[in-house]
Structure 1
Amino acid sequence: MSLYAGRFAGRTAIVTGGASGLGKAVAARIVAEGGRVALWDLDADKLATARTEIRATHVEALDVADAGAVEAAAAATHAALGPVDILICAAGITGATAPVHDYPIDSWQRVIDINVNGLFYCNRAVVPLLLANGYGRIVNVASVAGKEGNPNASAYSASKAAVIGFTKSLGKELAGKCGPGGIVANAITPATFESPILEQLPQSQVDYMRGKIPMGRLGEVDESAAMICFMASDECSFTTASTFDTSGGRTTF
C-alpha cells in the first residue's frame, strides 16, 4: 500500500501515455492513493490491459498529435468523470538517433508533433476544465535532454526544451487565477530511466546517457513517478512554472 493512501481522494486525473512506462506507473499510484484516472494512449490493446491492471476509471485511445481527437477526448472524459483536477502529460517518443545533417525529416516532424504539439493540444484542451473547477495540477514530462541536449538526438532534445519553455509560460499565465495554490503547472526533467521507451534507442545511446549520470545508473520509473505524484498533489501549492529534477545529479539547475 502507498505511504500516501488517500492523498488523491476525490481527485480525477488525466494521464497521457498512460498505457505503459512512466504514465502507467503514475496512474497506478494515483489510483492506489484514492484517485480516479483517465488513461489516454495511442495503443488500444495496451490501454485495455492497463485499465484492468491499475483499475483506471476511463480510457481514451487517441493520437495526441491530432488536435481534434484531443478535444474530443477531453470532452468525453469530462462527460464520463465530471470535474478534472490533474493533467499529467507523459506521452512522448524519442525519434531517430542520427546527426543533424542525416536526421530524417519525417522523424523530426513526428517527434515535434507528439512531444510538442501534442502536449500543447492536451494542455489547451484541459486547462479550461481546470479553470472551471477552480483547481488544477499540471505536470508536463520533459527531460534533462531539454536542458543539456543529447548528441544525435536533436529532435528529442529540442522538443523537451520546448516543453520546459512552454510550461514556464503556462505556469505564469495560470498563477493566482483561482486563488492561492489554485492551479500550478510544472515540468519534470528525468534523466534516462528504465522504461519501454529505451527500446526505441540503440544501446550505444543508452550507454552514453548512463555515462553522463554521476550516480552511475539509470533511474527507476518509480522514482520519477513519486516526484510527479508530489507535483500533482495538494502539497505542491507554492511552486509553479518550474522544473523538478530526477537526474541522478546530471543536472542541478
Structure 2
Amino acid sequence: MLNEEVNRLFDLGDRVALVTGGSRGLGLEIARGLAGAGAAVAITARRSRWLEPAAAELRELGANCRAFAGDVSDPADATRLVAATIAELGGLDVLVNNAGITWGAPVTEYPVEKWWEVLDVNATGTFLMSQAAARHMLERGRGSIVNVASVAGLKGSEEGRLDAIAYTASKGAILALTRDLAVKWAPRGVRVNAIAPSFFPTRLTEGVLAARGERLAAEIPLGRLGRPGEIMGAAIFLASDASSYVTGQTIVVDGGLTIR
C-alpha cells in the first residue's frame, strides 16, 4: 500500500505535458521523464528537422507524443502551440518552458541585437507560453508550469568565465517571472516553479565546456558536470502531485555549485 501511495504522488498517467525546446538536450530528457511517468507529451522546437527524430525516439519508448514546430517568442506561435497540444492530446496540465538560446561576447563588445534575440527567446518566450497555457489552466482551476532557468540567474560570473550577459539576464528574469506568476495564479490552482541547472553537456553548453569544462567541473563540490537523467527527477516532482504544496520555488540542480 505504501508503494501505491508513493507511486500515485508521482503518477502523470492522466496528464498532458507540453515541453518547449523538447527536441534535444535537457528538454528531450525532461520530455522522456514526463512520458515515463505516464504523461502524454507534446514537444516543440523552431525547426521540424529537429523534432521528428526526437518524437520518434519518444514513441519508440512507448510515449503518446506529438511534435509541433514553432517560435516561442512569437505571440501567435505561442498561442498556436498551446492550442495544438489541447486539440491533439485533449488538454494541457503541465507546461515546461525549456526553449532557450545563448550568445557569447565580453559585455563591452556585446551587440544589442544579440541581447534582444536572447531575451526574446528565453524570457519573452517563457512569458508568452505561460500566458497562453494559463488561459486554459486557470479556466480549469489546475495546472503546473515549470520554467527551466539556470544557476547563471542566481550568481554572477567573473569576466572570461561565462561571457553571456544576455543569457544571464534572461535566466534572472525567468526566476522573477516564476515568483510573480506563482503568487498571481496560486489562488486559482496553477502552480509555477523553476529548475536552475548548472552545467550539463548539451548543444547549448558545448562551447563553454570545450573551453573550460575541466575548470568548471573542479569548482563544483560534487566534482563533476551534470549527467543525463539528473534533471528529469526535478521536473517529474514539480509536474506531479508530489509537489502539490510547492509554488514559487526554484530547485537548484547544480552539484552544489551555488553553495560555495
* TM-score under structure 2 length normalisation: 0.88
1:158 and 2:158 matched: no
The 3-state SS of whatever aligns with 1:215 is coil
3-state SS of 1:127 partner: helix
Look up the match of 2:235. Answer: 228
Q: Are positions 1:83 and 2:76 aligned together?
A: no
Partner of 2:58: 54
Q: Is the 8 A contact 1:198 1:206 kept in 2?
A: no
Gaps of 5+ in 2: 1-5
Contact 2:19 2:42 in 1 (8 A): yes
Q: In 2, Cα distance between the equivalents of 1:148 and 1:244?
A: 15
Q: Tell whether 2:44 aligns with 1:40.
A: yes
For the residue of structure 1 that corresponds to 2:26, the secondary structure is helix
Q: Deviations over 1:145-188 (max 9, x none)?
A: 0000234121111110000000000011111313xxxx211011
Residue 226 of structure 1 and its aligned partner are, at CA, apart by 1.2
Whole-angstrom distance in 2 between the partners of 1:165 and 1:221: 27
| Contact in 2 for aligned 1:174/1:184 (Cα 8 Å) | yes
- Distance, in Å, in 2 between the alignment partners of 1:44 and 1:81 is 19
Structure-1 residue corresponding to 2:186 = 175
% identical equivalent positions: 37
Q: Please list the CA deviations of residues 112-146 of structure 1 after superposition, one character each: whole Å capped at 9, or x if unmatched.
A: 01110111111011011111222111110000000
Tell me if the contact between 2:37 and 2:236 (Cα under 8 Å) persists in the aligned partners.
Answer: no
Q: State the one-letter code of the partner of 2:80.
A: A
Letter in 2 for 1:90: N
For 2:134, the equivalent position in structure 1 comes to: 127
Deviates more, 1:78-87 or 1:7-16: 78-87
SS at match of 2:258: coil
1:1-253 superposed matches below 5 A: 7-55=11-59, 56-96=64-104, 98-150=105-157, 151=159, 152-178=163-189, 183-201=190-208, 203-252=210-259
Amino acid at match of 2:79: E
3-state SS in 1 of match to 2:243: coil
Partner residue of 2:3?
none
Consecutive aligned runs of 4 or more in structure 1 exceeding 3 Å deviation: 3-6, 205-209
The Cα of 1:58 is off from its aligned counterpart by 1.5
Distance 1:221 1:104 in 2: 33
**TM-score under structure 1 normalisation?**
0.91
Larger helix fraction of residues: 2
Distance 1:209 1:104 in 2: 26
Quick one: structure 1 residues 107 and 11, their matched pair in 2 at CA, closer, same or farther if it must change by over 3 Å?
Answer: same
Q: Which moved more, 1:212-221 or 1:119-128?
A: 212-221
Label 1:114 to 1:200 Cα distance change in 2 as closer, same or farther (>3 A).
Answer: farther
- Distance, in Å, in 2 between the alignment partners of 1:154 and 1:205 is 17
Decide whether the 8 Å contact of 2:34 with 2:232 is kept in 1: no
How far, CA to CA, are the matches of 1:228 and 1:165 in structure 2? 19
How far apart in 1 are the matches of 2:66 and 2:245? 30
2:35, 2:240 → 1: CA distance? Answer: 13
CA distance in structure 1 between the partners assigned to 2:220 and 2:107 by the alignment: 24
Contact 2:153 2:168 in 1 (8 A): yes
Counterpart residue identity of residue 201, structure 2: E
Distance in 1 separating the partners of 2:58 and 2:209: 31
- CA 1:163 to 1:117, structure 2 compared with 1: closer, same or farther past 3 Å? same
Matching residue's letter, 1:67: P
Q: Distance in 2 between matches of 1:239 and 1:252?
A: 22
* 1:11 to 1:62, Cα distance in 2 relative to 1, 3 A: same
CA displacement at 1:229 relative to structure 2: 1.1
CA deviation profile, 1:40-82 (whole Å, cap 9, x unmatched)? 1112112111111102521110111111111112112212222
